[in-house]
Amino acid sequence: MPLKPAVFIDRDDTLLQDEGYMTRPEQVRLFPGTLDALLTFQEAGLTLVLVSNQSGVGRGWFSQGEVRAIQERMLELLPGVEFAALEYCFHLPEDGCPCRKPQPLMILRAAHRLGIDLSRSVMVGDRISDVGAGRSAGCKTLLLSADEELIKEAGPDHAVASLADGVEWVLEVTRG
């Protein structure tokens, strides 16, 4: 069976508007165009994988149960969207965990399990660590930012202001 392309996507400030560490489901707000973008990817045959650092758990600010409650609310707001995997790292940056972005283990683990062609896949996020994880895993990278300094420092393959603005580019690069 041939390997398939995927969109690996960060959660906070990529799919969800984040004003700090979310601890309650009622804080969950999607960015405009998120649902349509994800449905378009899915309709194009792309596998969707969420990859998210959640160090607030390691810091004791919230629990894995609260992360799951936020996840459930996010999924309620995304009817018809099916994530093949939801990968989280709960460690602190100083823990040196190999799954914490910018390390690529969350991506590599999901790719192995799901039969994903990383060379035809894209990592989407809003931080340098997202770009670093995608690049280390062998994916193309899409940075969601209009900040020229951040774009220059991160060095993504492409940058746009929002996920909705990046749909056509993702579809183009995942066609292989």
Catalytic residues: 10, 12
Q: Which residues contact 94 (CB under 8 A, 6 or more apart)?
A: none
Given the DSSP bridges, would you call strands 6-9 and 47-53 parallel, antiparallel or unpaired? parallel
Q: What token pair was written down for 153?
A: 């420092």
Joined tokens for residue 117: 């062609």
Checking DSSP bridges between strand 122-125 and strand 83-89, what pairing results, if any?
unpaired
Q: Where are the beta strands (DSSP E) in 17-171?
A: 47-53, 83-89, 122-125, 140-144, 158-160
CA atoms within 13 A on the CB side of 85: 22
Enumerate the β-bridge partners of residue 50. 9, 86
